[in-house]
Amino acid sequence: MADQDSAFFTSTTNRINSANYHPAIWGDYFLTPVSDSKTTDTSIQQPFEVLKQEVRRMLRDDIDESSQKLHLINRIQRLGVAYHFTSEIEDALEKICHDYSSDGNDLYTAALWFRLLRQQGIKVSSDIFVKFKDSEGEFKESLKQDVDGMLSLYEAAHLGIRGEDILDEAIAFTTANLYSLLPQLSPHLAQQVSHALNRPIHKCLPRLEARHYIDAYKWDKSYNTTLLEFAKLDFNRLQEVHQKELNGITEWWKNLDFPAKLPYARDRLVECFFWSVGVYFEPQYSIARKNLAKVISMATILDDTYDNYATCEELELFTDAIERWDIKTIDTLPEYMKMIYASMLDLYNEIEESIAEEGSSYCVHYAKEAIKRMLRSYLAEAKWRNEGYVPKMEEYLQVSLISSGYPMVTTTSFLSMGKIATTDAFEWVSNDPKIIRALSLLCRLMNDIVSHEFEQNREHAPSSVECYMKQHGVSEEETVKLFREEIANAWKDINEEWLKPTPAPRPFWREL
């Protein structure tokens, strides 16, 4: 074994790492076993269930004012506990949609109604906001002093679709006025406004929003102690589940020893696990979460191998081996690639075994095809880099939307989701539906805007920024401005595709 390691390191240390990524900041922190805390004790479980049933009762209670039920649902969702009450919330919002009238309601309530129903996939009209405009077609001057109303409108407007100009105007109006009011607000309200301006609810990871709102909710004059206590207990219970999962996959990562054997590649296991928590945080998706985190971590190694280290000849060999998906082809690979290849095949075998009991192991075929496709796009970009070729935007996007990793990650995320993970669902996601294209474009443009400057200091494949600048003869500043407009339009396409009816089961839709 010592001789093998020596030969391995000789083959890798003769290369130049062109990225110079910083090492992982976590060390062995997550290798420490997570002991069962009080959140799993019987003494805690019983009051947890009592609190849960009390919140369920509040949701089921008949309330004369629809606005009160809207406020309750909003708080439950922002506190991160809505997954316990999916059917109750759906029933309540369907009823509110049919019974609710915006006449006489203030801006805060009207915007909350719009946001909650759009989040549920119900296509309510943005014309609800016309009454808040004056005879000149501008938002009324009096609204500028209604901080809560403007904040509610700001959050609602992020669920707009193409053609809803009034929501574009609402974002511009509320953003400008909320920023101007910040110095005049109380510290707590200013913090809430700043948080929203930086990270709207619709564009925030649910766990991050829950952690923020648990602290913020206690400042609400009408906060409900039962709801707050339940949210705290639930957050701690889930955090413990996630920590145990991370402990397990950290051991897996440690055994692979990639950071030592592949020093050119990023060591980002914890960040990859956090990504998987962003996809699905609920306890029933534990296996799916761990599998997805492992695949994303492996994809990071592959990305850096294609982007920063391997020669085009080596990448041709590796891509061909992945296409064949046969351990017998391992002897065609350079020494350092053999470990990556064997680990890849082992991982997908492990995933197949982990979901065999669900009777859905056949779905792994789609995940394999998705990563093969991604590696073909990686290879195309490596050839561009090697040849110094800068494609036009249309050609670039045909490749880079796949290399963004989003189609692969989405397909993989559907594994371990039980009986709803049908062949039809996987066929749908494998055929680049509009929502996947929009999400991929969003990821690609945001990534390229951020990474463009960093990549100028090393040999790199062309980014969308470079491609657009060269094709249209415009400046970087003009390009980035246009890309931000395209990102906003991609969000609108995502919002529209979210509206019912959807071609795939709703649980799939939520994981996108």
More confident residue, 319 or 417: 319
Q: Is the pLDDT of residue 151 over 60?
A: yes
- The DSSP result for 319-360, as a single string, is HHHHHHT-GGGGGGS-HHHHHHHHHHHHHHHHHHHHTGGGT-
What is the maximum alpha-carbon separation in the chain?
82
- For the residues 469-480, what does the mean pLDDT come to? 97
Tokens of 156: 């609602």
Q: Is the pLDDT of residue 507 over 80?
A: no
Tokens of 380: 């195309």
Global pTM reads 0.92
**Quick one: residue 323, left, alpha or beta (phi over 0 = left, psi -120 to 50 = alpha)?**
alpha
More confident residue, 27 or 176: 176
Q: Is the pLDDT of residue 42 over 80?
A: no
Segment of 30-34, 163-167, 281-285 carrying the highest mean pLDDT? 163-167
**Segment 330-342, tens digit of pLDDT:** 999 999 999 999 9
Domains along the sequence of the chain with CATH: 101-222 (1.50.10.130), 257-511 (1.10.600.10)
**Triad 377, 382, 388: Cα angle to 5°:** 125
Where is average pLDDT lowest: 38-42, 75-79, 238-242, 303-307?
Answer: 38-42
Reduce the secondary structure of 401-445 to three states and give it as a string: HHHCCHHHHHHHHCCCCHHHCCHHHHHHHHCCCHHHHHHHHHHHH
Half-sphere exposure of 308 (CA within 13 A, CB side): 21
pLDDT at 17: 54
Q: How far is CA 174 from CA 116, 177, 193, 194, 447, in A?
A: 19, 5, 11, 12, 27
Q: Is the pLDDT of residue 122 over 70?
A: yes
387 falls in which pLDDT band (50, 70, 90)?
A: very high
More confident residue, 20 or 177: 177
More confident residue, 506 or 128: 128
pLDDT at 138: 98
**Segment 242-276, tens digit of pLDDT:** 999 999 999 999 999 999 999 999 999 999 999 99
- For the residues 481-498, what does the mean pLDDT come to? 97
Mean pLDDT of the chain: 91
Q: Is the pLDDT of residue 238 over 90?
A: yes
pLDDT at 6: 37
Q: Is the pLDDT of residue 37 over 70?
A: no
Where is average pLDDT lowest: 369-383, 443-457, 483-497?
Answer: 443-457
Where is average pLDDT lowest: 378-392, 418-432, 475-489?
Answer: 418-432
Q: Is the pLDDT of residue 36 over 80?
A: no
Query: Does the CA dihedral 427-432-436-440 come out positive or negative?
Result: positive
pLDDT at 504: 73
- For the residues 433-458, what does the mean pLDDT come to? 88
Q: Is the pLDDT of residue 159 over 60?
A: yes
pLDDT > 90: percent of the chain: 79
**Segment 393-432, tens digit of pLDDT:** 999 999 999 999 999 999 999 988 877 788 888 999 999 9
